[in-house]
Amino acid sequence: MPVSLAGDPGSPARQTRDPHARQRATALVLALAVLWPLAVLADFKPWRLFEAGNLKVMGLFLAGFLPPATSSEFLGLLLQATLETLAMATAGMALAFVFAVPLACLMTHPLSISRIGPGPGRWRSESLRTVARAVLTVLRAIPEVVWALMLVRALGLGPAAGVLALALTYGGMLAKVYAEILESGDTRPARTILESGGARTAALFYGLLPGNAQELASYTVYRWECAVRASVVMGFVGAGGLGQLMDQSMKMLNGGEACSILIVFLLLVMLADALSASLRRLLA
C-alpha cells in the first residue's frame, strides 16, 4: 500500500490551495463588473436607508401600523376578503393547471413519439411545440395586473377578473416549468414505454411522474402562494379580495387595518409552507 510522504508535493498535506480558486476569483470579478453598472443605472443606494431623516420617516410610518385593528366589524370584512382571496387564488390556479398540463406534455420532448425515430409526423410535432412555446411566452410576458385591468373592463369589478388573470399568467408559468422539471429527471423509463408501444399517458404516469412528483407538487403550491400575493396587486385595480381591502385601508390612512391584513398574509404564507411540506411527505 503506497504511503504519502509529507514532503511529497502531491500529498494531501501539501495541497492547501483551492485548485479552483482562480476560476472562482475570475467569476467574482466578472460578476462585480456586470452588477456594478446595473446598480448605478438603477440608482441603488441602500445606505440611504440608514440616514437619520429616512430612519425617522420609516419609524413613524411603521408606528402607524400599531396596534392592529381588531374591531368586530373590520374582522368580519377581513374574513370575507380572506375567503374571497383564497377562492380567487385557488380557482385561478385550478384553471391554470387545466390548460398548463396539456401544454406541458406537448412541450416535453421525452413524451414525443415522433422523436423515437424518423417519420412523417416529426415536423408537425416540432411545429406544434413552436406554437405552444410562443403562446406560453405571450402569457408569461404580460403581467397578471395587465390582464386584470383588461378583464375588469369586460367583467366588471370583482374576483372573476382576478381568477381569469391568474389563470392566464400562471398557466404559462406552470406549463413551462412543468416541462422543464419533467425533462430534467430520468427520462429513460418514459422512452422505454414509448418504444415498447405504450401510450403517452402511460409514459407520463409511470415513466416521468414517479421521479418528479415531489418537485411538481412543491412548485404548484409555491405558485398558489404567489397567486395569493398577486391578488393584493390585482385588488388595487378592482379585482376584489384582500388587495381591495388593503387599498381602501391605505387610502384612509388606517395603518391598524393594514397591519391586520398583513398578519393574515403571513398566516397564509405559513399555510402554504405547511401544505407544501405535507405534500412532499405524502409523495415521498
* CA 247 remoteness from chain centre: 24
Which backbone phi and psi does 89 adopt, to 5 degrees? -65, -45
pLDDT value at 264 more than 80? yes
pLDDT value at 177 more than 90? yes
Lowest mean pLDDT among 10-14, 51-55, 192-196, 241-245: 10-14
pLDDT attached to residue 149: 85
97 pLDDT band, cuts 50/70/90, is very high
- Of residues 65 and 177, more confidence is placed in 177
- Of residues 10 and 238, more confidence is placed in 238
Return the domain boundaries, the chain.
Answer: 72-283
pLDDT digits (tens, 9 = 90+) for 225-249: 888 888 777 777 777 778 888 888 8
HEC profile for the chain? CCCCCCCCCCCCCCCCCCCCHHHHHHHHHHHHHHHHHHHHHCCCCHHHHHCHHHHHHHHHHHHCCCCCCCCHHHHHHHHHHHHHHHHHHHHHHHHHHHHHHHHHHHHCHHHCHHHCCCCCCHHHHHHHHHHHHHHHHHHHHCCHHHHHHHHHHHHCCCHHHHHHHHHHHHHHHHHHHHHHHHHHCCCHHHHHHHHCCCCHHHHHHHHHHHHHHHHHHHHHHHHHHHHHHHHHHHHCCCCCHHHHHHHHHHHCCCHHHHHHHHHHHHHHHHHHHHHHHHHHHHHC
Whole-angstrom Cα distance, residue 100 to residue 107?
Answer: 10
pLDDT value at 52 more than 70? yes
- 263 conformational bin, left if phi > 0, alpha if psi -120 to 50, beta if neither: alpha
Q: Which three cell numbers stand for residue 50?
A: 440608514
pLDDT value at 41 more than 70? yes
pTM value is 0.76
Of the candidates 226, 218, 231, the one whose C-alpha atom is nearest the C-alpha of residue 276 is 218
pLDDT digits (tens, 9 = 90+) for 67-80: 888 888 889 989 98
Q: Which three cell numbers stand for residue 120?
A: 412523417
Do the beta carbons of residue 221 and residue 232 sit within 8 Å?
no
> Does the domain formed by 72-283 have CATH 3.40.50.720?
no
pLDDT attached to residue 2: 52
Q: Hey, which of 11-20, 166-175, 274-283 has the most confident mean pLDDT?
A: 166-175
